Amino acid sequence: MISLNATFVQNMSIVHPEYFFISGLSGIPYSSYYYIFLFFSYFIAVIGNSVVLLVIALERSLHSPKYIGVFNLALADMGEANALIPNMMNIFFHSQYISYNACFSSMFFVNLFITLQSVTLAVLAIDRYIAICFPLRYHVIVNNTAMSLVFIILWAFATSLVGLSSSLMTRLSFCKTNVVENYYCDYAPVLEMACNDNSINTFMGNLVLALFFVVPMFIIFLSYMGILLALSKITTWEKRLKALKTCVSHLLLVISFFFPIICIFIASLITSFSQNARVITSSLSLSLPPMLNPIIYVLNTAEIRVIIRKLLKNRTVPIRKIISK
């Protein structure tokens, strides 16, 4: 066991290690190739989400409720990619040690942006439901002000609740070990290391899981049940497909985010994962959506494709004039 350089607080009853040791991948040959793959996924995620953010911010025709949601999703993707993957790369190339404060800061930011991804997908599902089921009232119910207010409330609520759950971890005493058997300071593995009463922390973890994962999945499910019911009342297949086509991008985003998490959860109930298998599967489930989301939206959204082509064309024309001179 790695020796603990501990400070004692609260009348010598709470043990806070100076550092945590992130175990990451261990004993896997050619594990460097996996980290190289993560680096490229990070590069694509940053570039792709930056393009989506800039296109939506600069193009006035995209200043609509739907794209306010897409903008927030890209912002959450960018935040998660920057909070998670560079720390994983640091473990491989630099050091597996992380300071006590940096551990819980990392926990806060990763969990915050993951929860924001989840609730944003739920808001976009409701947006699609209203657009298809109440098309004549859509612009009355959903507008830029209402959508912006919804996301301000969600960001404030998520920040408060995730911040509270992370800050409550500091009341725990880590006298068993300081080895985190994961690739970052994940909530559950760190909680398992505590040697005093962690019932409040367990409750907060379950509350965050319920509010920001179970509830959004339930909302998305109900929204698409309502959409399918509305589509069944449309007489022609052409109109059904046209309406359903507007949901394709969102459905792909939902699948890329929730499906890996659900599969890992079900698999963990059926069989036990080795540490390396758990690290690889969970890291892929969190690092791939930020990379795939901008690709999905650019490829499946005609408005964004047209605007990107227009911007590229406007850029290349002056360059051609300069070369011709």
Whether residue 182 has pLDDT greater than 60: yes
Alpha-carbon separation of residue 202 from 177, 184, 241 (angstroms): 19, 19, 45
pLDDT at 315: 61
At 201, is the secondary structure helix, strand, or coil?
helix
Task: Please compute Rg for the chain using Cα positions.
Answer: 23
76, 116 contact by CB (below 8 A): yes
Tokens of residue 87, six digits: 């720390």
pTM for this entry: 0.88
Choice between 156 and 197, residue whose per-residue pLDDT is larger: 156
Whether residue 10 has pLDDT greater than 90: no
Give the residue-averaged pLDDT of 268-285.
83
Residues in a beta bridge with 301: none
Write down the CATH superfamily of domain 20-324.
Rhodopsin 7-helix transmembrane proteins (1.20.1070.10)
- What value does the mean pLDDT of the chain take? 85
pLDDT at 319: 45
Question: Residue 244, Cβ neighbours under 10 Å: how many?
Answer: 16
Distance (Å, rounded) from C-alpha 254 to C-alpha 229?
A: 20
* Domain range annotation of the chain: 20-324
Whether residue 314 has pLDDT greater than 80: no
pLDDT, tens digit, for every residue of 210-221? 999 999 999 999
Tokens of residue 33, six digits: 């190739």
Tokens of residue 148, six digits: 């912006």
- In 3D, which of 23, 325, 30, 305 has the Cα closest to residue 180? 23
Residue 237's pLDDT band, with cuts at 50, 70 and 90, is: confident
Whether residue 165 has pLDDT greater than 90: yes
49, 293 contact by CB (below 8 A): yes
> Long-range contact list for 143-149, CB < 8 A, 24+ apart?
143/65, 144/63, 144/64, 144/65, 144/68, 146/65, 147/65, 147/68, 147/69, 147/123, 148/68
